[in-house]
Structure formats: C-alpha cells, structure tokens
Structure 1
Amino acid sequence: MSGRSERMRRSGALARGGPRVRPAAVHRRWITAAALLAAACALPFQLAPFHVFQFTMVLVYAVALLGLNLLVGHAGQISLGHGAFFAVGAYGTAIMLDRWELPHLLTLPVAAAVAFVLGLALGVPAMRLRGPYLALVTLAIAVFLVPLLKRFEQVTGGSMGLTLGKPVPPAWTGLAEDQWLYFLALAVAAAAFLLAGGLLRSRVGRALHALRDDEAAAEVMGVRPSRYKTLAFAWSALFAGAAGSVYTWVIGFVSPDSFTVTLSITLLAGIVVGGLGSLAGPPLGGLFVMFVPSIAQDVNDAAPGVVFGLLIIAVMYVAPAGLAGLAGRVARSARRVLRKG
C-alpha cells in the first residue's frame, strides 16, 4: 500500500471512530490519573506558601498549554499569539472584578466565553493560512495587544494596570489563602483536562487528528477543514482565557507588561518541551515554564535568556518528543523489566 493510501486509510479511520484502546490501557490511565490527583491534593499541606504559589502557577500554565496543545499538537496549526488570549481572560476577569464587582467564580465562564468568541473570529482568517503565514498573523496579534491595553487607560488602568482582591477562603475550609487559591486552580485544571479529553475522543478530536495527518485525505473522507480549524482556534482560546482568569485570581494584579509577546513564545516553547499531542505534555510544560526561567536566572543573572535557550536545546536533544515522550519511554521500559522479572 502506498504512503498516500495509508494516510487516507488512517485519516478515514480517525474521522469515523478512531483507533480502539485496550481496556487495560484505559484502566491504567485512570489509576495513574487518580494517583496524580491524590498527590496534587496533598501537595499544598507539605510545602511553604511560596512553593504552593509556584505550583498554583504551574496549574494555571498547564490549562493555557492545554489549549495550545489542542491547536498545535492535535490540529497541526501554529500560534505565536496564545498569550493574547491568556491576556483577554486575565483582563476580562480584572475588569469584571474592578468595574462590576462580580463574584470571582462568575468571572471564569464569562472570560472563557469571550476568549472563545475571539478565537472563532481569528479562526476565520486562519482557514486560509498555514505555516509561517499563520505564525506571522498570530504574532502580530500578540505584538498589537500591549499598546492596545495601554491606550484604553480608563478601562484597563493603562501602564499602571489594575490591582484586585483575591478570593477569600470560606471559614469552614480551614485553608490559608495560598492553599485555597491552589485548590481553585486545581479544580479548574481538573475540569479543563476532563473537557479536553472528552473533546479529543469526540468527532471533533478525530477530525482534528485527520486534518493534522493529511488535510487532503481528510477532506476526501468528509472532514470540512474550514469548520474544524476554526473550532480548534476557538477551543484553544477558551482554555487560554480560563487560565488567564485564574491567573488574575492568583496574582491579584494585571498590567500590559505581563502579557508581552515573550509570554506567547514561552508558552509555545513550554508545550513543545512538554510534549505535543499528549495530555501529559501541558502539566510537564507548565513545570518547565514556571521553574526553568527562575533556574536560568539563578545560573546567570546577566543573561537568563541565553541559559533558558540552552536548556530548551538540551531538553529537545535528550527528548525530541518532549518530556511526555521521554516519560512514556521510561514507563514502557520499566514495564518490560517488570515482566521479565
């Protein structure tokens, strides 16, 4: 069978129903997820407040990277403007808290919905672009955002930004503020991963995989590229907007300089290092985005960017498929050893 025919067969299978997953593998995934969730729940009771804050930010970045992974890893698109949707969620929440005094929890779905609509709007031109042209358009959005936020000073606070109150833990929980924020971020992250997992198992996810593997073959099999590319941008933006909303809860402050193009590039580096096309990639990428810049700063105060870049190159040399791929290889090797033992 020719390579083209094989791609068409695989794309058709993905569009119809996707590959079958063995029950043992499904059980193993659920057991692993339950163990990780239990460890995550115990984490804030074992660490100092600053480290709890760091892991809270890891969860925030993981949700943002989940959306970027959907777009880049599963749909095969490229975006250098993901930080703009993150900023939309953050500033949308900040404005709702500052101007309208809405409850914190109510701001999350509104900010995510606004980001989703903007993602749909961006998805329309994205239907006609690909590769470097699409990257350039999304990069322009990230560059354009910062001066736009500074211009509307009466709404966004301009260069000074907005200072906001953080969610207060209910008395019945007995939690400190840092622990409460951590559990809020954990709840949002858990819901986001469940939603993303369901989306990828649905017809939408199968269609995205078919388009990523071979767009022409997928179109022959009945997949409409324009529809699903637009949906990919919209869902990606929704997750980024939700992450930006939780970011505002955790930090209690937003300013334009927090959402420069550097954020978009860092997020893209994070998902590539974490592992494209894997649900394990976003949390691993979140750890990378949160901790590696601080490590680079400690190694060399004068040139943290150089150290950061070298660390990315080193990780990609050791694990070309990302940290998730490396973890998968280690797990498979361990299972083989245990079977032989």
Structure 2
Amino acid sequence: MTETTDTNDTDDTNDTAGTTKPPAAASSAPGRPAWLRPALDRTLVRHLLPGALALIVLCAVTAALPPFQDLQVANIATYVCAVAGLTVLTGLNGQISLGHGALMAVGAYGTGLFLTNLAWPLPVALVAGTAVTAAVGALVGTAAARLQGPYLAGATLTLAVGLPALANYRHLSDLLGGENGLVVATPPPPAALGAYFPLERWQAWICLLCAVVVLVLLADLGRSRVGRSWRAIRDDEDAAALAGIPVARLRVLAFVVSAACAGLGGGLLAVVSSLAAPGAFPLALSLSLLTGAVLGGLGSLAGAVYGSIALVLLPTWTGDVADALHLSRGFYANLPLALFGLVLVLSMLVFPQGIQGALVRLARRLRAGRRAPS
C-alpha cells in the first residue's frame, strides 16, 4: 500500500491549502527561476506545457500532409481518446472491459443527434455526447461494480454486442437511421482559415486538440490521490478497503472516466466520417481497442498513443500487402484481425509490458551503458 501514501504527487494539496513550501523544497531545482518554481511544480502545468507543445508541432506537421494522411491522423487521435480511457480503466484500476466499442457508439450517436437534429455548435455537441456516454458508463459501472475478471468481461461483452443493435429497433430506427445509420452534419472549417482550407486538416486539428486534452487530464488524474487509490484497488482490493478507500465508488468513477473518453472518441469518429452507423461499432472494435491498449502498454498513456497508431496503420498496411499478393476479398477482410492477434501474441512474448515498457527498458540500458566505466 505504498502508493496510497506516496508524497511525490501531493504537491497540489500543499498549494491549495495556502501553505508555503520549505526552503529545502524550493532549492531542489536550482536551475529554475524562483518565480517559476511554484507553477512548474503543479502536476497539471507539468503535463499541460508538453501537451501544448506537442499539439503545435502535430498541427504544423499536418499542414504538410496530403488529405488522406490528415484523415489517418484524425482517426489516430480519435482512437487515442478511447484507448487512453481504456488503459486507465484496465491498467490503473484493473477492470477489464470488452464493451468500449459500444460506448463509442453512444458518443457517436449522441454527438450526431446534437449536431444534426438540434444544430448545436461542435464543441457543445461533443461535450454533450461525452456527458451522455459518461452517464451510460455510470449505469454500467454501477451494475458491474461487484463483478471482476471474466464476469466483468462477459458483462461488457454483452454490452458490445447488444447496444449498437438498438439502432435497428423499430421504435428507434426513425431517430437513429436504422441499419443505414445517422448522417452527421460535419461543420466546415472557419472562414478565417480561408475558403480553400482542407476539411481533412481541420478535422485532424479538432481531433488532435481533443486527444491532447484527454491525455493531459488523464495524466493529471493518474498522479492524483484518485489515481493512487485506483492503483491500490488494482493491486489488492481487500487491503485497499481496509485502508479506508471507497472501493465501489472509485471503481464506478473509473468506469465513468473511461466511458467519457470512449464517448468523445466516438463523437469525433462520427464527425470525421459524417456518419454514425451500427456497422462502424462491431464487436471487433471493442476487441481492437483492448488489443491496442495491451500492445502499447497497459497503464501507460504513451502506450495508448502507440496502440492507436497500430490500430489505424496496420489495416492499411495489410490492405497494401493483400493487393500486392492478389489475395481474395474474403481473406483480405479477416487479415487485419488475424494480424492483430499475431502482433499481440508476439508482443506478449517479446515485451510483455507493451511498446512503452520496451522503450523504457531500452532507455534504462542506454543510460546504464553511458554511466558504466570504460
């Protein structure tokens, strides 16, 4: 239970209580100006500055990309939102979910209805769709709070199979578009960007902004008292309960946060594709999201980025290989899932902690090699 008493991430509590840091703490970073140390010591600011820099660099990079690659960047950013929420749920709190594809469908349909039927502005529609998905996540999390392991996976698997099929229900088909889906009114780029600004680049910028916001907030939450309590529950639920941690409440909170991230990713996916249809959220999507989280590294937000890149680029690469080898259409349709499974098995054998874990171990070896005497 050392994580619940860790003092490295509690610097915000000292600031909010109005107390001042002792001189020893202030002198721990002599290279910083005195007026800048309190601001940089805040967890949110430490995550916000790199996130803002990364957003600027990525938006500049998209300006040099063709429209198809801009769409790939937008899709990667949408998956980053969903996979990051899933890696927090599974990696930090220890809950296995196979239903995040269905939660993405809730966010997609919610955002699409707010944009198309109510003509709400895009930011308001995305926030509202995320809130609706968070509410659904609260219901699912409350029902699954006492389930663990395969029982929780089975319950969420049922959600992944049944929830997208509600669009075909006769009382909802007129509202949700049935099998053909709901056409989403995608807002055009602002006039200030010019009359010929590419729509794909504008969508990539929106998705990148949302992905960076999600990563910054989740990174701050993971280093907070709530994040340390999630880790304690993951490591030993009984010991966490004996330590006074509200296990059930925090398990539901983890599901709500993860569902909100998935809903935002689904809303962005509907905006990028201009469609919210049941066929876009099959069971394979939920399995792919979990595969991306495991492949990148459970509990690592950087791993969520690597896993999302793999989710978008691997099907494209397999399509190129299938065309080059003149494979049949039926074989080509199942090739991405087979390749995902093969990559997942190989990654578990070679680097069981995911891509991020392998990179961390490599960096440690390089640092140890530099420090070793010649």
Please, what TM-score do these two structures have when normalized by structure 2?
A: 0.82
Structure 2 equivalent of residue 161 of structure 1: 181
Q: Deviations over 1:207-251 (max 9, x none)?
A: 101101111111111101110001011111011111111111111
Choose from 221, 244, 250 the match for 1:228.
250
Quick check: 1:270–1:285 contact (8 Å CA) kept in 2?
yes
Larger mean CA deviation between 28-37 and 54-63 belongs to 28-37
Quick check: 2:9–2:224 contact (8 Å CA) kept in 1?
no
Structure 1 equivalent of residue 351 of structure 2: 319
Spell out the pairing of 1:181-200 with structure 2 (5 A cutoff): 181-200=203-222
User: Partners of 1:214 and 1:297 in 2: how far apart?
Assistant: 44
Equivalent position amino acid for 1:90 in 2: A
Larger radius of gyration: 2
Distance verdict in 2 for CA 1:95–1:81, change over 3 Å: same
Structure 2 equivalent of residue 256 of structure 1: 278
Structure 1 gap ranges (5+)? 1-8
Runs of 4+ in 1 over 6 A off after TM superposition: 22-32
User: Partners of 1:112 and 1:33 in 2: how far apart?
Assistant: 21
User: Partners of 2:101 and 2:62 in 1: how far apart?
Assistant: 27
Quick check: 1:284–1:323 contact (8 Å CA) kept in 2?
yes
Quick check: 1:87–1:259 contact (8 Å CA) kept in 2?
yes
Larger mean CA deviation between 78-87 and 193-202 belongs to 193-202
User: Partners of 2:247 and 2:288 in 1: how far apart?
Assistant: 28
Q: Does 1:205 align with 2:227?
A: yes
Structure 2 equivalent of residue 84 of structure 1: 102
Structure 1 equivalent of residue 16 of structure 2: none
Q: Does 1:13 align with 2:9?
A: no
Q: Percent identical across equivalent pairs?
A: 37
Choose from 281, 285, 298 the match for 2:320.
298
Q: Deviations over 1:268-313 (max 9, x none)?
A: 0010001101120111111011111222333344140323321222
Q: CA deviation at 1:61?
A: 0.1
Quick check: 1:299–1:307 contact (8 Å CA) kept in 2?
no
Q: CA deviation at 1:194?
A: 1.4
Quick check: 1:78–1:131 contact (8 Å CA) kept in 2?
yes
User: Partners of 2:365 and 2:55 in 1: how far apart?
Assistant: 24
Q: Deviations over 1:244-266 (max 9, x none)?
A: 11111111111111111111011
Quick check: 2:83–2:293 contact (8 Å CA) kept in 1?
yes
Equivalent position amino acid for 2:347 in 1: V
Larger mean CA deviation between 248-257 and 331-340 belongs to 331-340
Higher relative contact order (CA 8 A, sep 6+): 1
Structure 2 gap ranges (5+)? 12-27, 32-40
Larger mean CA deviation between 263-272 and 36-45 belongs to 36-45
Larger mean CA deviation between 193-202 and 232-241 belongs to 193-202
Distance verdict in 2 for CA 1:35–1:102, change over 3 Å: closer
Structure 2 equivalent of residue 140 of structure 1: 158
User: Partners of 1:31 and 1:142 in 2: how far apart?
Assistant: 37
The structure with more helix, counted as a fraction of residues: 1
Q: Deviations over 1:154-183 (max 9, x none)?
A: 110000112223221112224321111111
Q: CA deviation at 1:125?
A: 1.9
User: Partners of 1:325 and 1:196 in 2: how far apart?
Assistant: 19
Structure 2 equivalent of residue 56 of structure 1: 74
Q: Does 1:172 align with 2:192?
A: yes
Quick check: 2:47–2:220 contact (8 Å CA) kept in 1?
no
Equivalent position amino acid for 2:199 in 1: E
Q: Does 1:276 align with 2:298?
A: yes
Quick check: 2:85–2:259 contact (8 Å CA) kept in 1?
yes
Structure 2 equivalent of residue 6 of structure 1: none
Q: CA deviation at 1:126?
A: 1.5
